[in-house]
Amino acid sequence: MQRIRLRYTKRGRLRFTSHRDFQRAFERALRRAEVPMAYSAGFTPHPKVSYANAAPTGTGSEAEYLEIALTAHRDPARLRELLDESLPAGLDITDAVEARTPGLADRLTASVWELRLEGVEPEGAEKAVAAFLAAETVEVQRRTKNGMRTFDARGAVAGLQAGRPQPDRPGDGPCAILRLVVRHVTPAVRPDDVLSGLRAVADLAPPVPAAVTRLAQGLFDEESGTVTDPLAPDREAVPAASPTAAGTASATAPEGPAA
């Protein structure tokens, strides 16, 4: 059985698709691309697909991950092309590697988010960010299936900066861009929780909902404050030729002419 790990995106209007919507679209793409999927046992077999830490509905993402199990070997690069062609534009497969190391989900310990706040002056956003970072705790509330829950949104935030839009993304009015690095903790702290915290400590309230995009997720490097590529260990773990195979090759090599 071969395992392939994929990185995919949710762009444009498809950021509003739910995780279940994506699952259905992806399973259709597997059938269109004629991928030799491994299936679970039992009365209702289903393709062996493992999803890891999917982004909330309504947020875009450049860094979603999943793993599939195959019954026959396939080239990851060609498989990526076939699946990408079989998915709608906006759900794009951007990377594929053969799984050579364990624990993909364990390597997703933090995310980098971009929050675009239309109608917010960058200077006001900078002051709100400074107030948020200066606080030891920032309590926010979120409604769950068990009712309202209060938790700290500050402890999970490893980095938060405010800036202006890139020159190639101008807007009609004021706009602030927040870059957020948040650790994956329990309970999970989402970008909208941080926005609630900014409202609580600095009364920062964007007039329209923020456009939120996950830029990266992976292991958080405490020294550099960056999030590393979770597929890098699989690329680096290239299997070397075994000593037995090397010895066999030497033994069967033709001998040169006798002296």
At 62 the three-state DSSP class reads strand
pLDDT of residue 168: 64
User: At residue 152, does pLDDT exceed 60?
Assistant: yes
User: At residue 10, does pLDDT exceed 60?
Assistant: yes
Give the position of tokens 């769950």: 144
Q: What is the mean pLDDT of residues 92-97?
A: 97
Q: List the single range of 21-30, 82-91, 103-112, 145-154 with lowest mean pLDDT.
A: 145-154
At 215 the three-state DSSP class reads strand
pLDDT of residue 79: 97
Q: What is the mean pLDDT of residues 133-146?
A: 92
Q: What confidence tier does 37 reach under pLDDT thresholds 50, 70, 90? A: very high
pTM: 0.87
Q: What confidence tier does 259 reach under pLDDT thresholds 50, 70, 90? A: very low
Task: For residue range 59-92, list pLDDT tens digits in order.
Answer: 999 999 999 999 999 999 999 999 999 999 999 9
User: At residue 166, does pLDDT exceed 90?
Assistant: no
What the block records as the tokens of 48 is 């062996």
Q: How far is CA 97 from CA 185, 206, 213, in A?
A: 27, 40, 24
> CA 227, CA 217: separation in Å to the nearest integer?
6
pLDDT of residue 240: 59
For 39, which DSSP code?
B
pLDDT of residue 146: 82
- Kindly tell me the burial class for residue 118, based on how many C-beta atoms sit within 10 Å of its own C-beta (0-12, 13-18, 19 or more): middle
> CA 134, CA 194: separation in Å to the nearest integer?
14
Q: What is the mean pLDDT of residues 42-51?
A: 92
H or E element, residue 41 = none
User: At residue 131, does pLDDT exceed 80?
Assistant: yes
pLDDT of residue 225: 87
Task: For residue range 181-214, list pLDDT tens digits in order.
Answer: 999 999 899 999 999 999 999 999 999 999 999 9
Q: What confidence tier does 96 reach under pLDDT thresholds 50, 70, 90? A: very high
* Alpha helices (runs of H) in the chain, residue ranges in sequence order: 19-32, 76-86, 122-134, 191-202, 232-236, 243-252
Q: In order of start, what are the domains of the chain with their CATH numbers?
A: 2-100 (3.30.70.580), 107-227 (3.30.70)
Q: What percent of the chain has pLDDT over 90?
A: 80
Q: What is the mean pLDDT of residues 39-65?
A: 93
Task: For residue range 211-258, list pLDDT tens digits in order.
Answer: 999 999 999 998 888 999 999 999 998 775 444 444 444 444 444 444
